[in-house]
Amino acid sequence: MLAREYFRKSIEVLKEVEETQQDKVILAADMISQAIMNGNTIHVSGCGHSSILAQEIFYRGSGLIVVNPIFVPGTLLTDHPVSMGTAIERMEGYARNVLDAVRTRPGDVIIVVSTGGRNAVSIEMAMEAKKRGMKVIAITSSLYRDLPSRHSSGKKLQDVGDLVIDNRAAAGDAILDVQGLGLKVGPTSTLSGTFILQAIVCQAIENMVKAGVEPPIAMNGNLEGADAYNTRVFDLYRDRILYL
């Protein structure tokens, strides 16, 4: 049964991420915790299904508050027609305009998520962020290495990030063969991307606690007292987070 096969192979991917990317996850957490303790903000951006990961650690109960998602207009799954996002994601010059509308400062950290790492928007998002004095953590897949860049520089996201974390998603982001179909199914990039991001957040929080700094954490909205608590702490960061 393919459902069972998907469980098994997905767990294998997550185990591979744990075994091969753990040191980079710890480095990413060091970058993020240090930035927060220095008064900076963490930004997260992705197009298409990678935008799900920008939402994953934003406004999340038990997660960091100082996370600013950068949603790229026209490339979200809520945009109509959704197919337009494919063309926009390949447009050079667009990411610069998107960043112009975001409150960023030198010393901020941006996490750019793109499994293929070959489209112009994600590559330029990283390039532009570096020009503005930000550190770039790239989450992408090395298994797309043989596919060419769609950016005029010839670079891919993995060539631009200060720190590159491999989500180990297969080329085409599918792990299952279906007999008689001719196409693979079963994407894993969202699973492994979430796995990576939440591990980074947890480690960053521990780093701050060990440094004697209270981490800026949101309380889960289903807990008693959460509304008052979150209103108080969100008010401290509204000038930095676009969607608060």
pLDDT at 244 (0 to 100): 85
pLDDT at 80 (0 to 100): 92
CA distances from 206 to 178, 202, 214, 243 (A): 43, 6, 10, 26
Domains and CATH numbers, the chain: 2-235 (3.40.50.10490)
Residue 65 is which amino acid? I
The pTM assigned to this predicted structure is 0.96
pLDDT at 220 (0 to 100): 95
Q: What is the mean pLDDT of residues 165-181?
A: 95
Q: Each residue of 5-36: pLDDT tens digit?
A: 999 999 999 999 999 999 999 999 999 999 99
The DSSP result for 52-108, as a single string, is: HHHHHTSS-TTSBS-EEEEE-TT-STTSSSTTHHHHHTT-TTHHHHHHHTS---TT-
Q: Each residue of 74-119: pLDDT tens digit?
A: 999 999 999 999 999 999 999 999 999 998 999 999 999 999 999 9
Token pair of 35, please?
């930035």
CA 56 to the chain's CA centroid: 8
Confidence grade of residue 57 (pLDDT, cut at 50, 70, 90): very high
pLDDT at 143 (0 to 100): 95
* pLDDT, mean over the chain: 96
pLDDT at 243 (0 to 100): 87
- Positive or negative, the CA dihedral 177, 178, 183, 184 is negative
Token pair of 212, please?
């004697």
pLDDT at 134 (0 to 100): 98
Nearest Cα neighbor of 204 from 192, 193, 217 is 217
pLDDT at 149 (0 to 100): 97
CB within 8 Å of 55: residues ≥ 6 apart? 69
End-to-end CA distance of the chain: 44
Q: Each residue of 185-211: pLDDT tens digit?
A: 999 999 999 999 999 999 999 999 999
CA distances from 234 to 10, 25, 114, 218 (A): 36, 27, 29, 8
pLDDT at 242 (0 to 100): 87
CB 156 within 8 A of CB 149: yes
Distance of alpha carbon 132 from alpha carbon 50, whole angstroms: 23
Nearest Cα neighbor of 170 from 148, 150, 145, 196 is 145
